[in-house]
Amino acid sequence: MTRNSWRTVLLVGLSLGASPVSNAVVTFESAPLGGVNGIDGVWNGKNGAGKLETEGATFTNSYTPSGSSYYWSGFAASNRVTLDPDGDWYDEHQYLAVPRGGANGSATYGIFYGWGSVSFDSAIDMVGKGSSITNNEYALDSMLNGDFFAKKFGGESGDDADWFKLTITGSLGGVTGTSIEFYLADYRFSDNSQDYIITDWTFVDFSALGLVDKLDFALSSSDNDPTYGMNTPAYFAIDDIGAVPEPSSLAFVFAALGLLGRRRRQG
């Protein structure tokens, strides 16, 4: 569907009484943070709500207790900035964005795990807008070092062409639209010095999505098990959804358009 088609759909929706276009930015700053297993500053669905509602947006969430442990997927919110060496390793890492804090110096950010989507109370025209995205500490540690399930990116030689990718698909009124892709890590370069894992908040341009009232998020990786699927931990961090890029972030918009590249090697 073309951008003009999206606009036509929106105008028809407005004539039928649908919500108007919103210019709001979802910052996660109003998320109802509490505590998880002794860790303060986290919301992960433990209250059984089945969703996170904040700032005109509804994020999917599923929380299942399992004995003394639990399982969650979808979206969580966090304002964590440090790793406690005496805390539970898994919980300390899974609720922490690599930059240690939210985008543009903010306190709170979103954490994604597994599968999920966000629906907006009012449609958003994403042209000229986007979101800040980065890796989560648990996924970073796995890609750098490997773990019980996943391999070290690049392998022992550093030559393995590994990658970790986020796909974002927009929809409006139940009609699926365009998808965009963002590599959270990319080791496919013939020159290993160009291999990188994202460690900073990086502005991702959502312009190609056009008018949306829902975004679906999916992660994929070069490291997969034939039976159980992706081995790389399915996490990333997100903040400021629907924001206009800061001047310092414009270079990343150009990078998304293929006008320049940003490469950082880790490990």
Provide DSSP, 94-130. HT-BTTSS-GGG-S-EEEEESSEEEEEEEEEE-TT-E
Provide the token pair at 211.
């008018």
Q: Token pair of 166, please? A: 């986020």
* Domains with residue ranges and CATH for the chain: 3-256 (2.60.120.1350)
**Alpha-carbon span 28 to 11, nearest angstrom:** 29
Long-range (24+ apart) CB contacts under 8 A made by 60-69 are 60/115, 60/116, 60/117, 60/118, 61/116
Q: What is the pLDDT along the chain (267 residues), one digit of tens a residue?
A: 444 444 444 444 443 344 568 888 999 999 999 988 778 999 999 989 999 999 999 999 999 998 888 999 999 999 999 998 888 999 999 999 999 999 999 999 999 999 999 999 999 999 999 999 999 999 999 999 999 999 999 999 999 999 999 999 999 999 999 999 999 999 999 999 999 999 999 999 999 999 999 999 999 999 999 999 999 999 999 999 999 997 755 554 454 444 334 444 444
Q: List the beta bridge partners of residue 42.
A: 34, 78
Question: What pTM value is reported for the model?
Answer: 0.85
d(CA 74, CA 57): 14
